[in-house]
Amino acid sequence: MEAKLDKNCFEPLKAEKNGENEIVKPSETYWQDAWRRLKENKVAMVSLCVLIFLVVLCIVGPMVSKYDYYTNDLTKGYLKPSKEHYFGTDNLGRDLYVRVLTGTRISFSVGIVAAAINFIIGCLYGGIAGFYGGMTDNIMMRIVDIIYSIPTELYVILLMVALKDKSGNGLLNIYIALGISYWTGMARIVRGQILTLKQQEFILAAKSLGAKNSRLIIKHLIPNCMGPIIVTLTMSIPSAIFTESFLSFIGLGVNAPIASLGSLCSDSLQYYRQYPYTLFFPALMLCIMMLAFNLFGDGLRDALDPKMRK
Amino acid sequence: MGNYIFKRIISSIITLWAVITITFLLAHAIPGGPFSKNEKLPPAIRKQMEARYNLDKSTWWQYKDYMKHLLKFDLGPSMVYKGKTVQRMIHNEFPKSAQLGIVAVLISILIGIPFGITSALRQGKWQDHTVMVLATLGITVPSFVFATLLYYFFVVKLGWFPSRGWGSAAHVVLPAIALAGSPTASISRITRSSLLDVIRQDYIRTAKAKGLPDKVVVYKHALKNALIPVVTYLGPLIASILTGSFVIEKIFVIPGLGSEFVDSIGNRDYTVILGVTIFFATFLIICNLIVDIVYVLVDPRIKYEK
- Share the mean pLDDT of chain B: 82
Is A273 a residue whose pLDDT tops 80?
no
pLDDT at B306 over 60: no
Number of domains observed in the structure of chain B: 1
Domain for residue B157, yes or no?
Answer: yes
Using a CB cutoff of 8 Å and minimum separation of 24, what contacts does B214-221 make?
A: B218/B117, B218/B121
Identify which of B239, B240, B265 has the shortest CB distance to residue A161: B265
Assess if residue B87 is contained within a domain.
no
For residues A229 and A301, give the distance between their C-alpha atoms in angstroms, rounded to a whole number: 10
Question: How high is the pLDDT of residue B18?
Answer: 86
ipTM beyond cut 0.85? no
| Interchain proximity B152–A165, CB inside 8 Å | no
C-beta atoms surrounding A104 within 10 Å:
26
Mean pLDDT across A39-53: 89
DSSP SS3 for A170: coil
Q: Per DSSP, what are the bridge partners of residue A95? A: A89
Q: What percent of chain B is modeled with pLDDT above 70?
A: 91
Mutate to test the interface with A, among B11, B23, B145, B286 (most CBs of A within 10 A): B145
Residues with Cβ within 8 Å of B303's Cβ and at least 6 positions away in sequence, in order, are: none
Residue B73 is assigned to a structural domain of this protein: no
Listed range (A186-190, B46-50, B107-111) with the worst mean pLDDT:
B46-50
Q: Which residues neighbour B126 within 8 Å (Cβ) at sequence distance 6 or greater?
A: none
Specify the DSSP element, H or E, that contains A138.
helix A134-148
Which pLDDT does position B31 carry in this prediction?
A: 58
B139 assigned to some structural domain: yes
Model confidence band, residue A309 (pLDDT cutoffs 50, 70, 90): very low
What average pLDDT score do residues B14-33 get? 78
User: A276 — contact with chain B (CB < 8 Å)?
Assistant: yes
Contact between B180 and B141 under an 8 Å Cβ cutoff? The reply is no
User: Is B9 among the domain residues?
Assistant: no
Nearest residue, CB atoms, A294 vs list B140, B142, B240: B140
DSSP B20-42: HHHHHHHHHTSSS-TTTT-TTS-
Identify whether B33 is part of a domain: no
**pLDDT at residue number A278:** 79
From B275, which residue of chain A is nearest by alpha-carbon distance? A158
**Residue B57 falls within a domain, yes or no?**
no
B280: which chain A residues are within 8 Å (Cβ-Cβ)? 154
Contact between residue B27 and residue A162 where contact means Cβ atoms under 8 Å apart: yes
The secondary structure of residue B54, as a DSSP letter, is: T
Q: Which domain holds residue B202?
A: 93-267+284-298
Contact B145 A283 (CB under 8 A): yes
Determine, for residues A290 and B141 on separate chains, whether the beta-carbon distance falls below 8 Å.
yes
Residue B242 included in any domain = yes
The model's confidence at residue B32, banded by pLDDT at 50, 70 and 90, is low
Tens of pLDDT, residue by residue over A151-186, are: 778 878 887 777 765 556 678 888 888 888 788 888
The pLDDT score that the predictor gives to residue B244 is 84
Q: Please give the average per-residue pLDDT across B228-242, as a whole number.
A: 84
> Domain holding B109: CATH number?
1.10.3720.10
Chain A: nearest CA to B216, how far in angstroms?
A: 31
From residue A307, give the alpha-carbon distance in Å to each of A30, A304, B53.
Answer: 13, 9, 57
